[in-house]
Structure 1
C-alpha cells in the first residue's frame, strides 16, 4: 500500500480495505506504511527480501519484509523482530505440523512459550495473568505470527481453515516461563539449549483447562494433573502421531512438588503409570444395545508426550493445554547488533506492578 493512497484514506477506510482483502484478524490494525515497516526492520540484521520460512501446503515464502509488515499491523515494536523471526522459523519447521493445526476441523491454536533473558528485556509476562490481557508483547507477538501465517498461506475460515468452532486463543496464546519461581530447569534447557539462550517454543493445542487441587500437597497436585485432564485429551509421542499435552504448574504447587523431591521426569513417569482409565459406560450400537466390554487405556502413553512448564503467579490455579497435534518445536532467538539500544528506546516500564505475595 503506497503512502499516497494511505494519506488519501482515513484510518477507518484503510482498516475496512485490509479487512475486505482478508488481511486482518477482524480487529483494527495499524496501517503498514513504508515508514512504519522500515522502522520495524530496524529490529533485524537480515535483508528485507530474505525468506524466513515457507508456510502452508503451497510453500508460500514469508520474507523478512512481509513479516515486518504483519508485525506493524499487529501493533508490535521493532525490538520484537528477533522473537518474530524465530517464531516464523518454528511455524515453518516441518516438525511443528503447523499446517495441520492451522486448517483442521479441531480448531487448534498456536501455543507459544518464551524462555531465557529475552523475557525480562521485552517485558514478556510469565507471572500473574501471563496468558491474559494487559501485556503488550504477550498479545502482539502471537497476533503478528498468526496474521503472518494467515496472509502468507492464504488461510480463510470455511475455505482452508476448517475449524468447526474456531479457537479464541488462536492468535493470543503466548507467555514466558516463570523461570525465577520454578524449582526445575527451564523448559528450553530440557530441549537442549543453554539457560542463557533465549528461545520460543511452538505447540498446537485445541483445548485449555484450569484447575486447582483441594489441598496443596504433592499427592493432590499429581492426582489433579491426571484427573483434570479431559478424557478427550490423549497424549502419545511417535512418528505417526505426536500428540502432546502441556501442564502449566503455578509456583505455589511447583514448590510442593519440589519439597517431595520430584523432578519433571519423575512427574511425567507418575502420570504415565497412573493414567489408566476404564471405559464401560458406552454401547457399541444404538440399535442392538450391544455392550462394549470394559477396557482400559492410558491417557498418557509415554513421558515424551508430556510437557511441564512453570507458569503464573501467586495462587493454586494450574492449567492444561492439549491435545497438540504438532510439535512442540523450540527455536533460538538471534539478536541484531543494535538490539539493546532498540529495547531501551522502545520498551517502557509499566506504572503498575503485579503483586509478589502468595495467597490461596
Structure 2
C-alpha cells in the first residue's frame, strides 16, 4: 500500500486487521508499509534477512526486517535501529531469561537502562520523568522491543502470557542513566564496558516502588533503601535463579551518599548486611498437619538481599529526593553494546533531533 494513497478508512482497516491478528499491544500503531520499513532499514547495516536473535520457547527467528516492521508500528524512527538491535540481542540472550518473564503468572515487565553517548544523540531522557510519558525515544524504543517479542514468540494473554494481573510496565519501561549528574561511575562501566561505549541493559522486574527518605542524611537514604523494599522483593544471585533488585537513586541522594564516601559496592554490602527480616518457621496453625507447639520452632532472620551481586544501583531522575526500587527481576540483567552503522551520524543529523523531539513531518506523512 502506498503511503500517499492511504486514506483514513484504509488506515482504520489496516490497524483493525493488525489488532485482530494479535500483532499490536492494543494501542494504535503506524502501518508498516513497504516504504516505511525500507526507510527504517537505513538505520542498520545488517542484511534484512539476518536473524538478530531467536525468541520464545520455540526459538522463533527475529530478522532485521521483522525488527524494522515492529519498530515502524511502535512509532520509532530509523536512527533508533541500533538501540533496537542491541535490545533484541539482549532479549535473545538465554541469560536474560526473557521467556520466563514474558509468560509467567507474576506479570513481569521489560526494564531497559541506556548508557553512553547515544543518550544525547537520540534524546533518551535520564532526568525528570525519565520513566514516564512525554519522551519519544524512551517510549517508542521500549514499546517496539515489547511488540517484537510478542509477535516473534507468538505470546498472547491467556495462552502463553499467563500474567494474572498484567503489568503496565510492558508498554514501556526505559530510561537513560543520568551519568552527568551522578557522582558514581556509570552503570555500564560498573559492568565491564568503556565509558564511551553505548549500551542497553535488560531486566525483567514485576514491581515498582517510589519512596522518599525520612531525613536529609546518608543514613536515612540507606535505611530507606531497606525499609521501602517490599518483602515480596527478594534478591540473590546464582545459577539456579538470578533474582535482582535495582535501586534507581536520584542524583541529589546519590551525591549525599558519595559525600559520605560511600561507593556503590559499600552500599550494596550495607544492604546485604542489614536487611534481615523476620520470617515464621512455625507451621500454619490453620493446617491440619501442624504438629508443633508454638514454642518448638522460633522465628528466624533471613537476609532480604542475598548477596552484593543481586543488588544493582543506577542514578536516574531530576531535581528532588524521590527514589525508585524496581524488582525483583528473575532474569539478567543483561547488557549489550550498541553497534552503529557508518552512516548513523549523518542519519541522526538528517532527522534533526532536538530536545523533546517528536516526529511532525516526513517519515509519518
CA distance in 2 between counterparts of 1:269 and 1:116 reads 27
Q: TM-score, normalised by structure 2?
A: 0.93
- Output aligned runs, 1:49-198, within 5 Å: 49-198=49-198
Q: Note the C-alpha offset of 1:7.
A: 4.5
1:242-267 superposed Cα distances (whole Å, 9 cap, x missing partner): 00000000001001000100000000
1:48 equivalent to 2:53? Answer no
CA contact (8 A) 2:82 2:339 kept: yes
CA contact (8 A) 1:145 1:171 kept: no
> Gaps spanning 5+ residues in structure 1: where?
353-360
CA contact (8 A) 2:282 2:299 kept: no
Q: SS state of the match for residue 156, structure 2?
A: coil
CA distance 1:187–1:350, shift in 2 (3 Å): closer
- Output aligned runs, 1:1-360, within 5 Å: 3=2, 7=6, 10-280=10-280, 284-287=284-287, 291=294, 293-350=298-355
CA contact (8 A) 1:235 1:243 kept: yes
CA distance in 1 between counterparts of 2:141 and 2:282 reads 44
Q: Note the C-alpha offset of 1:293.
A: 3.1
Q: Note the C-alpha offset of 1:280.
A: 4.3
What does residue 355 of structure 1 align with?
none
1:7-26 superposed Cα distances (whole Å, 9 cap, x missing partner): 48521111100000000000
CA distance in 2 between counterparts of 1:134 and 1:282 reads 50
Q: SS state of the match for residue 10, structure 1?
A: helix
1:256-314 superposed Cα distances (whole Å, 9 cap, x missing partner): 00010000000000000000011249861315686463111110010000000000000
> Gaps spanning 5+ residues in structure 2: where?
358-365
CA contact (8 A) 1:110 1:170 kept: yes
CA distance in 1 between counterparts of 2:310 and 2:34 reads 44
Q: TM-score, normalised by structure 1?
A: 0.94
CA distance in 1 between counterparts of 2:182 and 2:353 reads 26
CA contact (8 A) 2:121 2:353 kept: no
CA RMSD of aligned residues (A): 1.7
1:29-87 superposed Cα distances (whole Å, 9 cap, x missing partner): 00000000000000001100000000001010000000000000000010000000000
Q: SS state of the match for residue 105, structure 2?
A: coil
Which contiguous aligned blocks of 4+ residues in structure 1 show a shift greater than 4 angstroms? 6-9, 280-283, 287-292
CA distance 1:153–1:318, shift in 2 (3 Å): same
Q: Note the C-alpha offset of 1:348.
A: 2.9
CA distance 1:347–1:135, shift in 2 (3 Å): farther
